[in-house]
Structure 1
Amino acid sequence: MQWLKAIIGFILITIVSSKPALAEKVSIAVGDWTPYLSEQLKHNGIIGHLLHDLFKEAGYELTLSFYPWSRAYSLAKIAKQDMTGVWMLKPEREEDFHYSDPVLNEQFVFFHLKSTQFDWQSLDDLTGLVMGGGSEYSYGPEFDQALSAGKITIERVPTKYQNWRKLLLGRIAIYPEEINVGYSSLKQLYPKDKVDLVTHHPKPLLNNVSYLLFPKSADTSLRRLKDFNKQLHAFRKSGRYNIYFKKFREGYYDK
């Protein structure tokens, strides 16, 4: 009987050890940032797709939840969500969050009406102009410093629709936005005859990178951050990261 018990014990151990480990569930709070992140896009957009696959390969099951950007930030800060993204670097955010390695490269430009004569070479050239902008947005350290010093002013509103409407009505002269996000949202909101009224200045306001933010208030954040960064590095090294952006340029994520 002893040998039978041993065999049964061995079989049970083999079954248990061969059973795949359940993926750890994690959540991320994001905002709508078409064409990079949106509930209306295939796979929630290129960044949604990339994040899902990165975490899956790292052994996690990721759930994306969409909120207004300020709400997404607040929920992650108090660890009601495991992370938030994607955000650019700001010193004050480092008080509450650990930053991942860079996830996305972006280029911000100034949009304006074709009928408006607009040129700029430095932020001093923006003095006196009525400028639109998004709530909770940073357009880079130099821009933020000029705002704080009162050299430039910005009228912030919660939605892109409000900014585009104000621009088309001539209530603001310029509107800073990421170039792909800008044209994508404009085309979604307005017909071609309105879209054709708008252009952008070729000089970038900001070449930027964005990150995932992991709350310092959660004990699990550093472990998950390490796992994420390791997988992101592997995707970049293998070339897999670039495949997502090739699909993005080909329109794969458009519904």
Structure 2
Amino acid sequence: MRREWLRRVVSLFFLVAFFMGTKGAWAQDKGIIIATGDDYPPITSQKLQYGGLGLRIVMRAFELGELPVQKVKWQPWARGYSLTKSGVIDAAFPWGPTPERNHFFYFSDPILHMTNYAYVLEKSDVSIHQREDLKGKVYCNPNGYGDFGVIKELKEKNLMTREAPLNMVSCFKMLKQGRVDLVVSPKWDADYAISGAKLNMEIIRREPMKVAQTPLSLIVSLKNKRGPEIISAFNKGLKKLKETGEFIRIYHEFGFDEFLEPNS
């Protein structure tokens, strides 16, 4: 009788363990939730195929890294950042490292590299060739976008003033209206924004000085217990993308070849 009782207990134990393991596997198979913004073409945009170059790279990297993405949430930049920081969303992109962000996030290997320039009105007397030329200027950089390089340094010393509207299109409209001295932007974002603002390219001048250069990556909160796993899977997949040549093909597909870093 006692043996029968022990046999049933042992059987029940293994049955419970089996279902717990199955439940854990099911939970893991649901994958992760990632966030990005909808107004950063050709990197991210719901109007573009695959949601843009950046989302295409991110999804393929996770696929090759064997970590499924359950859902992509299109969020305003600041909100997506906040939800990822708190761990509500597992990962977000594309974000550049700053001393502040480094306290809260893991950063993946770079998805792309960003070079920012100062854009001014062609008729403007503003000329940006060196650091001193930026002092005292009012610049536009959308809400949720990071400040980098010399712009960040001068802003933190109160030597520049920032205007932060909703998006880059609004920045160029403000430039046209004379509300800011310059717009800080990478070339690809500026090209789309000037067109989106219905402005003639000939009235805008891009200054030659590179005001910032920074890598853009996938971020995961340090609070996220799966953080190291997520970053590892992504980096693994991104490496495979580059080794097979698919990374370059994606850039080519979006006409983005000029922004490829050497040895990509």
TM-score bin, normalised by smaller chain: 0.7 to 0.9
- Which amino acid is the alignment partner of residue 236 of structure 1? K
Shift of 1:161: 2.9
Partner of 1:10: none
Following the alignment from structure 2 to structure 1, what is the Cα–Cα distance between the partners of residues 108 and 256?
28
More displaced stretch, 215-224 vs 117-126:
117-126
Q: Given the two structures, how large is their TM-score scaled by the length of structure 1?
A: 0.83
Q: How much has 1:131 moved relative to structure 2? A: 1.9
Letter in 2 for 1:102: P
Which whole-Å CA distance do the structure 2 matches of 1:107 and 1:88 have between them? 11
Which letter does structure 2 place at the counterpart of 1:240?
A: E
The CA distance in 2 between the partners of 1:95 and 1:150, in whole Å, is: 23
Show the counterpart of 1:41: 48
In 1: Cα distance, 2:226 partner to 2:137 partner? 46
SS at match of 2:224: coil
Which 10-residue stretch deviates more, 40-49 or 110-119? 110-119
- Deviations, residues 143-180 of structure 1 (Å, cap 9, x unaligned): 22211112222222222232111111122121101110
Tell me the CA shift for residue 87 of structure 1. Answer: 0.5
Instruction: Specify which of 237, 240, 248 is matched with residue 242 of structure 1.
Output: 248
Matched residue SS, 1:205 = strand
Identity %: 20
Q: Name the counterpart of 1:208.
A: 214
Measured in 2, the distance between the counterparts of 1:155 and 1:189 equals: 17
Name the SS of the counterpart of 1:249 in structure 2: coil
SS of the counterpart of 1:182? helix
Aligned twin of 1:107: 115
Q: How much has 1:38 moved relative to structure 2? A: 0.9
Is residue 62–residue 234 contact of structure 2 (8 Å, CA) maintained in 1?
Answer: yes
Native 8 Å contact 1:109 1:202 kept in 2: yes
Q: 1:94-173, aligned counterparts within 5 Å?
A: 94-173=102-181
- 1:66-77 → structure 2 map (5 Å cutoff): 66-77=74-85
TM-score, length of structure 2 as denominator length: 0.80
In structure 2, distance between residues paired with 1:201 and 1:142: 14
Q: Distance in 2 between matches of 1:163 and 1:218?
A: 34
Judge conservation of contact 1:58–1:231 (CA < 8 Å) in 2: yes
Query: Which shows bigger deviation, 73-82 or 134-143?
Result: 134-143
Residues 150 and 212 in structure 2, CA contact (< 8 A), matched pair in contact too: no
Contact between 1:147 and 1:153, CA under 8 Å: does it hold in 2? yes
Q: Pick one of 197, 200, 220 that aligns with 2:226.
A: 220
When the two chains are superposed, the root-mean-square deviation of aligned CA atoms in Å is 2.0
Deviation, structure 1 residue 60: 2.7
CA contact (8 A) 2:119 2:207 kept: yes
CA contact (8 A) 1:76 1:83 kept: yes
1:179 to 162, 184, 187: 187
Q: CA deviation at 1:212?
A: 0.6
| 2:31 equivalent to 1:25 | yes
What amino acid is aligned across from residue 228 of structure 1 in structure 2?
F
Counterparts of 1:228 and 1:155 in 2: how far apart (Å)?
34
Alpha-carbon distance in 1 for matches of 2:66, 2:158: 48
Q: Determine if contact 1:131/1:174 at 8 Å carries over to the other structure.
A: yes
SS for the counterpart of 1:60 is: coil
Partner of 2:7: none
The 1:36–1:66 alpha-carbon spacing in structure 2 relative to 1, beyond 3 Å, is same
